[in-house]
Amino acid sequence: MSFDPVHLDLLRHGDTGHRSYRGQLDDSLLELGWRQMRDAVLGREWDAIVSSPLQRCAAFAQELAQARGLPLALEPRLREYHFGDWQGRPVDAIAAQEGEALARFWADPVAHPPPGAERFDDFAARLTAAMNDIAERHPGRRVLVVTHGGAIRLLRCIGAGRRYTDLLNIDVAHASLHGLSWPPKAAREGSQARAQADPVDG
């Protein structure tokens, strides 16, 4: 089995003007957000674009793909984490009404997710499956992946072999780019070791 990783640039969407856990709510970009994303891609080149279908990602991805003549795929598994009962609520209001629960979430989001929220194992599984499919479709190529802050934080944890609990310590500003090789090095090395250990039928 050969391993030819794809180089991904993860791009977070620009500013939407909201200061709450937006999750899978379908917000549009502010004009500031459009400028941030356009500035972020200046002078950079890719072979393809894959985007979350939420409009704060997809609208820019469609504009860029059309302008550069690049193939574009909308990937539902790249949607943001679902924050359950906290989705759409201002953080200040959550802090005032559920301060202890919010503090536990910030300390360990895996063990203490918001009420009714997506399980982090499920979040990680769908992101990993999406990345695997992108890598399979675009081996050895450069792909722009337009997605969300929480998704990028978790993918960076997976790529670096870090615990999911580290994700809130990773800074992902609006319209920031984050390079990632996929499959992650540790996963490729593990798969190679398993392939060498398995007998091959002649």
Catalytic residues: 13, 80
Q: Which amino acid type is present at position 87?
A: Q
> What's the rounded Cα separation, in Å, for the pair 13 and 194?
38
Task: Determine how β-strand 142-147 pairs with β-strand 48-51.
Answer: parallel
Q: Which amino acid type is present at position 46?
A: W
> What's the rounded Cα separation, in Å, for the pair 24 and 73?
18
